[in-house]
Structure 1
Amino acid sequence: MTTGAGNLDIRKSSARFWLIVVGLLLLAQIATLLAMGRVPICECGYIKLFEPGVNTSGNSQHIADWYTPSHIIHGFLFYLLGWAVLRRGSFGARLTLAVIIEAAWEILENSPIIINRYRSETMAIGYSGDSVLNSAMDTVAMMLGFLFAARAPVWLTVVIAIVFELFTGWLIRDNLTLNVLMLVWPVDAVRQWQAG
């Protein structure tokens, strides 16, 4: 028979295990990006907490930028995915799945094929890929979104996602929805509006 204290020990060791797994996945993402030749930090030589310029050389190079809300929304969506496909899985297993998907995307996003696609089909005309710092922080932002979605009411998570999409759409003429649309199926009218 397992005591309450025994259950707590099991949960703590399980949480520790999943934290180690998630940490190792993040380190693997960082190591892969460095092996791909990505710059560790902005070539400007300094680190900013937030880069406000969208079509600047500092975009996607610092800790956060106007695309950070998109990565938080990734966390919301990956929480839903984990709940749907790992319904009987632990929270740690669901978070691990989310980190695997996000890390894989971050690596793919910084490959020449996606960088060139962004340059040719989206508003990211001078995009040269993320710094390793920015990419790692994008994954951390996704994890924060995942943790938020795990704790917050569904309605609040949905409202925040909509607000993020509307606000960044209004402010920078881009957001997660438009980014995916223009990457997968470019629309000239959207491209003209984004350039406007």
Structure 2
Amino acid sequence: MMQKPTLRFWQILHMNVGFFGIQYSFGLQQSAVNPIYDFLGASPDEIPLLNLAGPVTGLVVQPIIGALSDKTWHPRWGRRKPYFLIGALLCSLALIAFPFSSSLWMAAGLLWILDAGNNMAMEPYRAFVADKLNDEQRPLGFQMQSFFTGFGQTLANLSLFIFPLIIVGKTGSLPTW
């Protein structure tokens, strides 16, 4: 088997920055979806059913994308990067459209698209770090994954309070604490 090259600290850091974006998207999905459903008129007993869209999508998408990314090869992009790109585009489009949802079912459909995009990017990304790093560097690579995962989730939750303060008047009202 071919020996993997030893990467510098900054190369490993750059390799993992994308986890911030993925987890930021997951964090927004988890914390901002219920207020949107509520705003669109969902009754309290409908919200748990509507929230099942994400986990069910993940159960279906993760194994399929994992298997496909293991068998895909592109001469320029390799086997994982096409999935990062497609997943990131799906997430971006869904996150941009989500606040403009005009109906409850549009919001639920966007949640499915968002979760599919998140999972399409996330699972190959996890494998990408193991693909690129040698045995001695994997612990550092996975620690950086964990750091960016936590940072993305934290900032996503904080941004629900920060954005209304920055864009006063455009979001309706300031949050009440």
TM-score, with structure 1 as normaliser: 0.31
Q: Higher relative contact order by CA 8 Å / sep ≥ 6: 1 or 2?
A: 2
Normalized per residue, which structure has more helix? 2
